C-alpha cells in the first residue's frame, strides 16, 4: 500500500520560510522519500532508505517541502569514525533535488533557495564531509557559507546511446588484447558465486595489497544477502580450467546506473585477461539493464589507470566538506597514506 501524499505533514515542522518547510522524516515516510529519490536528477541507490538500512548505519533524512511535495533533501549519516560523512559502500549522497521545471535560471534559483534552507541546519553539524552525485552543480550556497570542495572523478560508460561494438572500440588496445586472450581460454563466467566465496576473495585482494579489509565478514555477508534478495546486486565470477574462482565482481543494478561496487581476484591462481574479461561481461549485462556503467572511481593511480582502459567518460563529482581541526589533520594524514598505498599497488594490476 502506498503512503498517502499528505501524511508527511503530520510531522512537526522544524523551520518554515515563505512556503518552504524544512523537517526530518521518520521511518513511516521512507517509502515517500525513496520514490522522490527515484525521480531526482541525482537519483542513486545510495540514498534509498532500504540501502542505508542494509549498510547498518544510523541515518536521518532532512527535507524541504512545498505544497505537499518534497523539493530537496539529503541523508545525514556517519562513517566508521562517527563523522558526518559517506559510510563505506555509500558512494554518492549529498543533496537530491526534485526535477524542477521552467527556465534554467528559474530552476537554479529554486535549487539555491532550498539549499540555503538545508544549510541553516547543516552548518550546525560538527563535521560535514560528503561525496555528491555528479549531477549536483549547485555549489555556490556552500561556498558562501565557507564550505570547501575537492574534485573527484570516476569513469562512466554511456550504455544507452552506444552500441556494444562502439563501447568496446573505446577500450585501450592492450585491454582488448587481454580480453581476446582470455576468451580463447576455457574460462567460465558464473552468476552463481556463493556470497562466502565473494567475501573471501574480496578480503584476499585487500590483504594481498598489504591493506586492511575495511569490513567485518559478517557485515559484508549480510549486506550482500539483503541486496541479492532485492535483486539489485549481481555477483559474478570467472573460473579457470579446473573450476576454481579466479576473480569476482559485485555490481549494483538500477535502471539509471550499474555500479562496480566491489571486485577482487585471487592472486595465486588468476590468469591473464580473466579479470578484464569478467568486468567486460559485467558491462555487457549492464547494457541490458541500465543507462550508465559507473566504475565508482579511485584516486589510487594503478587502480585509476586500470579503470581508464575501459574507455569511460571522465566524470567529475564533488567532495564538499567543512571539518573540525582534528578532522582536517586526519584527512591530511589519510591523503598521504593513500599516496603511499597507491605506490605499493602499482605492480598489482
What average pLDDT does the chain have?
89
Cα separation, 56 vs 87, in Å, equals 10
Per-residue pLDDT tens over the stretch 51-72 = 999 999 899 999 999 987 899 9
Mean pLDDT of all residues in 77-83: 85
Domains of the chain (ranges, CATH numbers): 5-146 (3.40.630), 155-316 (3.40.630.30)
Is pLDDT at 2 greater than 50 in this prediction? Answer: no
Number of Cβ atoms within 10 Å of the Cβ of 172: 14
Higher per-residue pLDDT: 295 or 210: 295
Per-residue pLDDT tens over the stretch 33-52 = 999 999 999 999 999 999 99
Q: What is the pTM of this model?
A: 0.85
Cα separation, 257 vs 251, in Å, equals 10
Helix intervals (H) in 85-172: 104-122, 140-144, 164-169
Show the cell assigned to 188: 567460465
Cα separation, 64 vs 122, in Å, equals 13
pLDDT confidence of residue 341: 58
Per-residue pLDDT tens over the stretch 85-100 = 999 999 999 999 999 9
CA distances from 128 to 10, 80, 148, 342 (A): 29, 14, 10, 26
DSSP structure class, residue 18:
T
Least confident piece of the model among 91-100, 179-188, 210-219, 265-274: 210-219
pLDDT confidence of residue 15: 54
Amino acid at each position: 500500500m502506498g503512503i498517502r501524499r499528505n501524511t508527511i505533514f503530520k510531522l512537526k515542522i522544524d523551520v518554515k520560510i515563505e512556503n518552504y518547510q524544512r523537517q526530518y522524516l521518520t521511518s513511516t515516510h521512507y517509502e515517500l522519500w525513496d520514490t522522490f529519490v527515484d525521480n531526482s536528477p541525482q537519483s542513486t541507490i545510495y540514498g534509498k532508505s532500504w540501502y542505508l538500512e542494509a549498510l547498518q548505519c544510523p541515518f536521518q533524512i532532512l527535507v524541504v517541502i512545498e505544497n505537499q511535495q518534497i523539493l530537496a533533501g539529503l541523508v545525514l549519516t556517519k562513517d566508521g569514525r562517527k563523522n558526518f560523512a559517506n559510510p563505506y559502500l555509500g558512494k554518492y549522497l549529498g543533496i537530491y533535488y526534485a526535477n524542477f521545471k521552467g527556465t534554467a535560471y528559474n530552476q537554479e534559483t529554486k535549487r539555491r533557495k532550498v539549499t540555503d534552507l538545508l544549510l541553516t541546519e547543516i552548518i550546525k553539524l560538527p563535521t560535514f564531509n560528503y561525496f555528491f552525485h555528479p549531477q549536483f552543480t549547485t555549489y555556490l550556497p556552500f561556498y558562501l557559507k565557507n564550505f570547501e570542495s575537492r574534485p573527484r572523478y570516476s569513469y562512466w560508460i554511456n550504455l544507452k546511446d552506444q552500441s556494444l561494438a562502439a563501447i568496446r572500440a573505446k577500450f585501450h588496445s592492450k585491454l582488448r588484447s587481454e580480453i581476446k586472450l582470455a576468451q580463447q581460454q576455457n574460462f567460465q563466467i558464473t552468476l552463481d558465486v556463493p556470497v562466502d566465496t565473494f567475501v573471501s576473495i574480496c578480503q584476499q585482494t585487500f590483504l594481498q595489497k598489504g591493506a586492511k579489509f575495511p569490513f567485518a565478514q559478517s557485515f559484508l555477508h549480510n549486506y550482500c544477502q539483503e541486496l541479492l534478495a532485492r535483486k539489485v546486486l549481481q555477483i559474478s565470477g570467472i573460473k579457470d580450467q579446473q573450476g576454481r574462482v579466479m576473480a569476482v565482481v559485485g555490481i549494483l543494478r538500477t535502471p539509471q546506473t550499474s555500479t562496480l561496487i566491489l571486485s577482487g581476484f585471487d592472486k595465486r591462481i588468476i590468469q591473464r585477461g580473466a579479470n578484464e574479461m569478467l568486468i567486460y561481461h559485467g558491462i555487457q549485462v549492464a547494457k541490458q539493464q541500465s543507462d550508465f556503467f559507473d566504475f565508482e572511481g579511485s584516486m589510487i593511480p594503478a587502480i585509476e589507470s586500470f579503470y581508464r582502459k575501459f574507455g569511460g567518460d571522465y566524470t567529475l563529482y564533488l567532495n564538499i566538506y567543512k571539518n573540525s581541526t582534528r578532522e582536517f589533520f586526519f584527512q591530511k594524514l589519510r591523503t598521504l597514506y593513500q599516496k603511499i598505498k597507491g605506490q605499493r599497488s602499482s605492480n598489482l594490476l
